[in-house]
Amino acid sequence: MTDATFQPAVSGKVDFTSPKAQAHLRKRYAVEKRFKAYGLTAIGFAALFILFLVSDIVIKAVPAFTEHRLTLTLTPTAERVAAGGKTDRDTLMQGDWIAVVRDGVGQFFPQVTNRTQRSKLYNELISIGAGEDIRDTVIADPSLIGKPVRANVLLSDDADLYFKGRMTGRNERNGGGLVGVSGTSDTVSITSGINDFAAELARVRSDLQVAARLAQLEATRLRTALETVVPDRRAALEEQVNRQIGIVADLEKRGRSVGGSETLGDNTASVLVKINGGVIKLTEIGNEKASGTVLIPLKTATEAKAGEWQILTLTTPEASRKLSDQQAAWLDRMKDEGLVSKTVATRIFTSGDSREPELAGILGGLAGSALTMLVTLSLCLPIGVFAAIYLEEFAPKNRLTDLIEVNINNLAAVPSIVFGLLGLAIFLNTFDMPRSSPLVGGLVLALLVLPTIIISARAALRAVPPSIREAALGLGASHQQAVFHHVLPLAMPGILTGTIIGMAHALGETAPLLMIGMVAFILEVPSSVTQSATALPVQIFLWSDLPEQAFQAKTAAAILILLVFLFIMNGAAILLRKRFERRW
Amino acid sequence: MNVLSQAEFDAPSKGIGMADGESAVTARGVDVYYGDKHAIKDLSVDIPAKSVTAFIGPSGCGKSTFLRCINRMNDTIPSCRVTGSIKLDGRDIYNKALDVVQLRAQIGMVFQKPNPFPKSIFENVAYGPKIHGLASSKAELASMVEKSLRRASLWEEVKDRLDASGTSLSGGQQQRLCIARAIAVSPEVILMDEPCSALDPIATARIEELIDELRQNYTIIIVTHSMQQAARVSQKTAFFHLGTLVEEGPTKTIFTTPRDKRTQDYITGRFG
Amino acid sequence: MAHWQQSGAIMLSIYLILMLAGIIAAFVLGRRRGAALYDGAGIARADVHSLPIYHGLMTATFAVAPMILALALWTSFAPGLSKSAAISAAPVKEITVEPARRQLEEQALYRDIQLSASLLNQGRPLTRPDLQPAAETYNTSKSRLFWALLLAGGVFGAAGGVFGLRRISVNLRSRNAFENVVLGVLIACSTVAVLTTIGILFSVLYETLQFAARYPFWSFLTGTVWSPSSLTLGALPLFAGTILITLIAISIAGPVGLFAAIYMSEYASQRFRDVAKPILEVLAGIPTVVFGFFAALTVAPLFKGFGDWLDLTLGTNLGVASESALAAGLVMGVMIIPFVSSLSDDVINAVPQSLRDGSYGMGATKSETIKKVVLPAALPGIVSAMMLAVSRAVGETMIVVMAAGLAGNLTWNPLQAVTTITVQIKTLLVGDQEFDSPKTLAAFALGFVLFFFTLALNMVALRIVRKYREQYD
């Protein structure tokens, strides 16, 4: 086994103290150490990965558990909500509550009159579910109609993200000098006594440098593409490359320049100035002087002293985010008025799916999963246990039972998506069972986990010592009585452990459910196994695919909830195993 | 110990041999195969009723195999095949029409290692009467349990904790519980497969005492490794060697004047 | 469709309640009659063969068997009978000759009839008044058939119960009879797994043959262009993509899993094992959709960001795709680590201690013993573990669906986006599809390839494991 130097030394005694032997030994121990380190590294890698994965998901999920909303005084007028003067529940449910909310929000921005502006304010900042709170309050007490009522108004996902700081970096500071403005609306210029805008100017220039580098990269890519392009497209591409090079040069020049002023555009941060009760968006910026357009009209054009006006920088360029500077200004105004509050979001647990991230919850997926698991468990537990009992206790040892055994082991390793194909071809298309239903999902998952349950149940049955069986048989119990009265109850903890682990596996399974159509967008929370439904992991898959940024947090939150369920199940299995572990 | 065995030798033996007592079990030309292995070869023996018969012999001689043929426990081994005839009270136990379950109710069995069910003491004893429908009421079942435990001389020790698990008893108590469990279904024959091999000497003495009491009511067949034990408890002894029955007869005769050389070698300890 | 199912569910529940009532009644009566046997003149309790409960169970079996049979007949024939009755009552439209087309039209007509029938039941106006007679026929047919079921079930169930009751006697071996019924149920349950395999075989094989009839199978297997929208179905890029991602995954899971197993079984202290084992179990318990999310939203952007940064600062031209094979493969590799390590752990532990002792006795170090004795002895087991891991990687769906691409690029560059077999099965089958278009059938053909490839791997691997186990048992 060891090195050849030690082997042929038959003629005399081997000197293990010679320097050569010592060196060799040291080398062997070094190898040993390295080998051991590899093993430790492997486990460390796995542990680190889990840590990375879980913390990544937790960090992503945290925002989903809070939401921002406005607290407003709203007046639910009869013509808005009580059609025909009726105040019964059904009529009120049909009322135009969102209009009531819009009336309330509109009070703060009387200047917003044009159609596009109104849409940007009402449709993009206020959730379409914003009327629910006032609706429920008024339904509980219809006498409130026509009176001012304080109610919570849910913000849209984008507005929520803005307040969570996930839309853009946000940096607000007081202006340092005495500053004058040239007007109260449209385009104005601002002049400060000191170099108040120097920091912003520097920031804009560094943004330009970054933009220049990205443009450079794009130019390189285009030039590479030039090598493989078909001849007739070559000219167009060359022109594009040249244009790109021009853009790079321009950006670099602007980024490097010193002093003077700079224009703000699509690839620079936005700089807003809050002054005299209004907001100005800067379009050009110098060290002491800037000019811009008014987003919210100023009350006066008087000078503002240091500390009485603020410079607000939104670090993500306007073109790269979903909320415009105008919308950010509106939101900031509402926040400055003290209307915005942050609360714990419980909706994720209590509502079904929705196209609007702020309204979407996992209840539908959870109910679908529960129904699916119900079907799975009620099928695979009895079938699995019975099959295991037959194979372990009653089956004669012959080729047929051998075949069944090989088959079960192989089935356990068949990819899950293939079970989905089975469900699609057999259950849906041949037996015409209801598509997207927990019934079919449960059936497919039952077949999927059946081998696992059979294998673990057989192991549990095998672990019951034969002496118990013999004792019962010796008393004149039939073989079945011996099994059902004595062996099975003793094997039950082991069987249940295996079943829980199998069910945990089924709960996380996604691919076969996609095949049988449990991927539809379903608003309703399902209540029976033949209704269309989705399942929690499928919900995760669906959400992860959606473009809205807010869904990313919802997805991570749904994952977190799924993982909690799985940990509980696995924990229960481990506890069960520990509690009932029996040494014979 | 010695006193006991001496007393056993001197006790007036009733029902010994097939001449003067009736036979409970008669075996004729029994062969047993495990797959290709011929475990028992052309065995014929008579077991006298209401007495203790001991099977002795070296390990692997087929004594346990034959014992398990008597209540057809060998049925549970798929590769095992039995030919010849074994009769209980004149009825062939390998008759196809016979329900093996009812047979085992008539021929109880006590195993090498005490194997109480991991259930309460009461449940252990009540299980047999329950599955055979022997009790018509709860009270009757309770009295059956008590009677069986008394007969197994375990009642005094466990009467206050019938709900305790059978596995919580000591080894000797467990084995007596197994005996109580076996006699609860009122069998005619009780088979004992080395019932004391897992027990300490004191517990062994209790069991041997019990066996002696039980022979008033039951036919007992005991497989034992210990020749002293065979001498102490049995009235008839059969010596097995390599799957054949070498010699059988009254215990005293076998141990004092064996006819066969092999028997002699075995009881004098030349092999075993 | 939904209508038949909805009211069908109600009918089914009524019938199941009837069945349950029949079972309970037969059981109670049978048991009572069985108990009465004990009181017969000159009969000892021990003479009665079976316990009353078995007489009850057997009587219930006699009662319920014809009811189940009736239900089976009803479920297999009733929908078809109602359908043909309804369609023959529908106004005759122009007859389309082409069979496939006619079938589709008939299907659509039937759906309309069902919708009308359900509207009729709810007393709502019909969307197609011309179908009123057909809808009425459909409803009557359905309710008639259901009454027939109730009647047949009730009568035959009762007859069975009475028959069972009358057989009860002292010598009737109800226990043996019922145990045979139970044994039948046990056997039936153990064939479910076999039926599943047959079902899988049947479904993928049948659809694949359909596919082969419409699309040249050889060019499906060897074509280099995959473009379902233009019905160009050359699956080679898919196979290549699958292999590429699998290779990446195995090159991570193989060594890491194996070294983890070696460390756990040969070096780790009990306390370390108590901590490390749950870590691997946690990893094994994480659903693949979670790994997919992680791969798509964290790892892939990370790689792309890093690649772009390199391109930017070092002037390289990696051009990492946002759905790179590397990201999907890496995450998949991590997912498989616990799988490899637990399988390897088993085979390493199966190597007898005596072999190790032999090596230590010669003065070999631990690592030398592992490398020169344990691993060679465990090699077949480790090889089969790797094969099972490959099969797992090839069949994995969610990670690649979420993190790999859709375009069939034929490339070996792990920084590019590739697509895989499972991704395409999912893409072709999810969403609205006609069932017999070549595109959907192609998905089944891909499923066929996937199933047989993994099956072959599994069978060989499991056989090796079995042989290996026997060697050291």
Task: For residues C427 and C430, give the distance between their C-alpha atoms in angstroms, rounded to a whole number.
Answer: 6
C69 — pLDDT class (breaks 50, 70, 90) = very high
Above 80 in pLDDT, residue B187? yes
Q: What angle do CA C312, C316, C317 make, to 5 degrees?
A: 95
B/C interface, count of CB pairs below 8 Å? 22
Q: How far is CA C95 from the centre of its chain?
A: 41
The confidence band for C50, taking pLDDT boundaries of 50, 70 and 90, is confident
Average the pLDDT over B75-94 and give the result. Answer: 87
What pLDDT was estimated at residue B11?
A: 37
C182 pLDDT more than 90: yes
Tell me the pLDDT band of C238, cut-offs 50, 70 and 90: very high
Distance from C-alpha of C304 to C-alpha of C325, rounded to nearest angstrom = 11
Kindly report which listed range (A401-415, C221-235, C292-306, C433-447) carries the lowest average pLDDT score.
Answer: C433-447
Report the candidate in A73, A72, A89 with the shortest Cα–Cα distance to residue A81.
Answer: A89
Would you say residue A264 has pLDDT above 70? yes
CB contact under 8 A, C397 and A217: no
Residue C215 has pLDDT above 70, yes or no: yes
Binning pLDDT at 50, 70 and 90, where does residue C1 land? very low
Residue A303 CA to residue A308 CA, distance in Å, equals: 10
Q: Which residues of C touch A56 (CB under 8 A)?
A: 294, 298
**Paired tokens of C112:** 């309309």
Cα(C451)–Cα(A415) distance, integer angstroms: 7
| For residue A75, pLDDT beyond 90 | no
Q: Hey, are the CB atoms on C276 and A47 less than 8 Å from each other? A: yes
Task: Express as a percent the part of chain C with pLDDT over 70.
Answer: 94
Residue C67 is predicted with a pLDDT of: 93
Cβ of C38 within 8 Å of Cβ of B133? The answer is yes
Q: Residue A148: enclosing H or E segment and its boundaries? A: none
Tell me if C45 and B99 make a contact (CB, 8 A cut-off).
no
pLDDT (0 to 100) of residue A234: 84
pLDDT tens-digit series, residues C279-295: 888 888 899 999 999 99
pLDDT score of C253: 95
Task: Look at B181 and A479 and tell me if their CB atoms are within 8 Å.
Answer: no
Instruction: Spell out which chain A residues touch chain B, with contact meaning CB-CB distance below 8 angstroms.
Output: 396-397, 465, 467-479, 481, 485-486, 490, 582
Residue-wise pLDDT for C333-344, tens only, equals: 999 999 999 999
Cα torsion A235, A240, A242, A243: sign: positive
**Does residue B69 or residue C114 have the better pLDDT?**
B69
Using CA coordinates, name the residue in chain C closest to B97. C173
> Tell me, what's the pLDDT at A531?
84
The first and second tokens of residue C464, run together, are 């090796």
Residues of A in contact with C238 (CB under 8 A): none
Spacing of C-alpha A295 from chain mean position: 34
Residue C210, pLDDT above cutoff 90: no
- H/E run at residue C363: none
Task: Characterize the bridge pairing of strands A179-181 and A170-174.
Answer: unpaired
For C170, the token pair is 């002292």
CA–chain centroid gap for B180, Å, is 13
User: Considering chain B, what is the average pLDDT of its residues?
Assistant: 86
**How confident is the model over A20-54, as pLDDT tens digits?**
888 888 898 999 999 999 999 999 999 999 999 99
Whether A578 shows a pLDDT value over 90: the answer reads: no
Give every strand in the sheet of A66-74, ordered side by side: A149-154, A66-74, A340-344
Of A394, A403, A505, the CB nearest to C183: A394
| Closest of C275, C236, C230 to residue C439, by C-alpha | C230
pLDDT at A9 over 80: no
Q: Could you tell me if B70 and B94 are in contact, meaning their C-beta atoms sit under 8 angstroms apart? A: no
Half-sphere exposure of A388 (CA within 13 A, CB side): 31
- pLDDT of res. A371: 94
Which residue in chain C has the smallest CA separation from A35? C367
Per mean pLDDT, which range of A2-16, B241-255, C53-67 is the poorest? Answer: A2-16
Collapsed DSSP state (helix, strand, coil) of residue B108: strand
**Shortest CA distance from A560: residue in chain C:** C290
Per-residue confidence (pLDDT) for residue B147, from 0 to 100: 92
Residue A4, pLDDT score: 47
**Which chains have 3+ CB pairs within 8 A of C?**
A, B
* pLDDT > 70? residue C329: yes
Q: Mean pLDDT across the stretch B27-51?
A: 90
How many Cβ atoms sit within 10 Å of the Cβ of residue B163? 10
Contact C263 A425 (CB under 8 A): no
Is residue A5 over pLDDT 70? Answer: no
The pLDDT value given to residue C246: 96
List CB contacts (< 8 A) between C48 and chain B: 133
Q: Flag whether pLDDT at B107 surpasses 50.
A: yes
- The pLDDT of residue B125 is 94
Q: Dump pLDDT digits (tens) for B23-33.
A: 889 999 999 99
User: Does residue C8 have a pLDDT over 80?
Assistant: no
Asked if residues C255 and C363 have their Cβ atoms less than 8 Å apart, the reply is no
Residue of B nearest to C171 (CA): B99
Q: Do A510 and C187 touch (CB under 8 A)?
A: no
Q: pLDDT digit string (tens) for A347-400?
A: 888 888 888 888 889 999 999 999 999 999 999 999 999 999 999 999 888 888
List, for residues A153-212, the tens digit of each pLDDT value: 999 999 999 998 888 888 888 888 888 888 887 888 888 878 888 888 888 888 898 888
Q: What is the pLDDT of residue A74?
A: 87
What is the predicted pLDDT for the residue at A8? Answer: 52
Residue B161: per-residue pLDDT: 92
Tokens describing residue A405: 């055994």
Closest residue in B to A465 (Cα–Cα): B115
- Residues C452-459 have a mean pLDDT of 92
Other chains touching A, judged by 3 or more CB pairs under 8 Å: B, C
Chain A: residue whose CA lies nearest to C367: A32
What's the confidence (pLDDT) of residue B14? 36
Which residues in B have their CB inside 8 Å of a CB on A? Answer: 71, 73, 76, 78, 101-106, 108-111, 113, 115-118, 127-128, 131-132, 178, 181-182, 185
Is residue A38 less than 8 Å (CB to CB) from chain C?
Answer: yes
The set of residues, in sequence order, having a beta carbon less than 8 Å from that of C292 and lying 6+ positions away, is: A541, A544, C331, C398, C399, C400, C401, C402, C403
In this prediction, residue C393 has a pLDDT band, given cuts at 50, 70 and 90, of very high
A chain contacts of residue B131, beta-carbon cutoff 8 Å: 475-477, 481, 485
Q: Identify the pLDDT of residue A200.
A: 87
Residues of B in contact with A484 (CB under 8 A): none
pLDDT digits (tens, 9 = 90+) for C261-282: 999 988 988 898 888 888 888 8
Hey, which of A408-422, C300-314, C418-432 has the most confident mean pLDDT? A408-422
C418 CA: distance to closest CA in chain A (Å): 18
| Cβ neighbours of B131 in C, within 8 Å | 51
pLDDT digits (tens, 9 = 90+) for B149-170: 998 889 999 999 999 999 899 9
DSSP C470: H
pLDDT tens for each residue of B136-148? 889 999 999 999 9
Determine the 3-state secondary structure of A533 from DSSP. coil
- pLDDT (tens digit per residue) in B199-224: 899 989 999 999 999 988 899 999 99
